[in-house]
């Protein structure tokens, strides 16, 4: 196995930051992954994973080996009554996988339509949108142990899912490579239309007319309307997590801003919309350091000039500092920075 050298990664990350990999391998099998890891180990070289490039910030040069898992394939492992276990290899495009399942009437993923990236990254981030998270439809995954080369199985408990979190972002960070993900889906329509934006879109439709296909179409229309396509305006989607704060802190904010957007998390906690905070602080549509806060969705930082990641981080830090000073809330960024 011979890696490619000095590979331009600008087209392989949705923020379109200029970046060069000293060494690059696109692995289409578990054997490829093992060979690439062995190659790097023999040279005492660091290994950096790059999936669909939709949730990462890349430096201008990455020394060591950049490894892109590109395993493909979808199969039904088991079917009992209306329940199906559907396995997807890690290198499948997430949205195309959702479309495939919806077309086959394997229901449960519709609210997660049009999220960029690959299937293998979905459980790492525990992706979520419009009232559904990946963990809601997750059964198990297979991951390659980077130290032993063995494939291990992780069920929901072992993945330690939380809001945009998993064990692979925390305790086991950089120790495993996801090679497949298995979902527990249903042939019986599962309608998740309680999210406010979806409710608004479906006003006037009879309940019987609201199908999983309608939900998928509605989600796609909402995302296209509110979020810029990375193909047109480079971005990584939501740049910040929605912070979870105490009810006491929330009430203090609501006294000053009755229109605050927030959701119940627990009896003593609220999840406040990061986009609302950023917009209320006056950042929506602003350009700083060559980077722009999207004019329609303040949660999205765009890179229209295709500048380096350091410029994006400068704007992100300026926003974080301002939100901390104004609301006493710490904003945490979603995309991971590859060092």
Tokens for 86?
A: 């559907």
HSE (CB half, 13 Å, CA atoms) of 217? 8
DSSP state of 217: H
Residue 152 CB neighbours (<10 A): 13
SS3 90: coil
What does the alpha-carbon distance between residue 271 and residue 258 come to, in Å, rounded to a whole number? 15
Using an 8 Å Cβ cutoff, are 131 and 194 in contact?
yes
Q: Which residues belong to the active site?
A: 164, 238, 334
Q: CB of 114 within 8 A of CB of 92?
A: no
Q: Are 306 and 58 in contact (CB under 8 A)?
A: no
- Tell me the H-state helices in 202-303: 212-226, 247-256, 274-280
Structure tokens at 5: 């050298």
Per-residue b/e over 190-222, b at no fewer than 16 CB within 10 Å?
bbbbebeebeebbeeeeeeebebebbbebbbeb
């Amino acid at each position: 196995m011979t890696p490619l050298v000095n590979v331009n990664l600008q087209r392989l990350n949705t923020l379109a930051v200029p970046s060069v990999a000293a060494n690059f391998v696109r692995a289409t099998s578990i054997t490829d992954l093992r060979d690439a890891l062995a190659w790097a180990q023999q040279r005492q070289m660091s290994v950096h994973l790059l999936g669909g490039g939709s949730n990462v910030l890349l430096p201008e040069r990455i020394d060591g080996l950049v490894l892109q898992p590109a395993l493909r394939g979808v199969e039904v492992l088991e079917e009992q009554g209306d329940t199906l276990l559907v396995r997807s290899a890690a290198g499948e495009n997430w949205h195309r996988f959702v479309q495939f399942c919806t077309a086959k009437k394997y229901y449960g993923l519709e609210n997660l339509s049009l999220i960029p990236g690959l299937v293998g990254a979905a459980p790492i981030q525990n992706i979520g949108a419009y009232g559904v998270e990946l963990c809601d439809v997750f059964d198990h995954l297979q991951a390659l142990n980077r130290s032993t080369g063995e494939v291990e199985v992780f069920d929901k408990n072992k993945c330690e899912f939380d809001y945009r979190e998993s064990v692979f972002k925390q305790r086991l960070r950089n120790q495993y490579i996801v090679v497949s993900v298995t979902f527990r889906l249903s042939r019986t329509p599962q309608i998740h239309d309680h999210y406010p934006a979806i409710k608004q879109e479906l006003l006037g439709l009879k309940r019987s007319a609201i199908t999983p296909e309608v939900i998928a179409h509605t989600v796609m229309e909402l995302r296209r309307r509110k979020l810029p396509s990375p193909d047109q305006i480079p971005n990584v989607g939501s740049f910040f997590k929605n912070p979870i704060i105490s009810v006491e802190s929330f009430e203090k904010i609501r006294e000053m801003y009755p229109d605050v957007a927030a959701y119940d998390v627990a009896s003593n906690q609220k999840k406040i919309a990061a986009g609302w905070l950023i917009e209320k602080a006056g950042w929506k549509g602003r350009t700083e350091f060559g980077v722009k806060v999207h004019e329609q969705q303040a949660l999205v930082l765009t890179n229209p000039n295709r500048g380096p990641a350091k410029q994006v981080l400068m704007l992100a830090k300026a926003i974080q500092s301002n939100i901390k000073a104004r609301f006493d809330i710490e904003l945490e960024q979603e995309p991971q920075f590859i060092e």
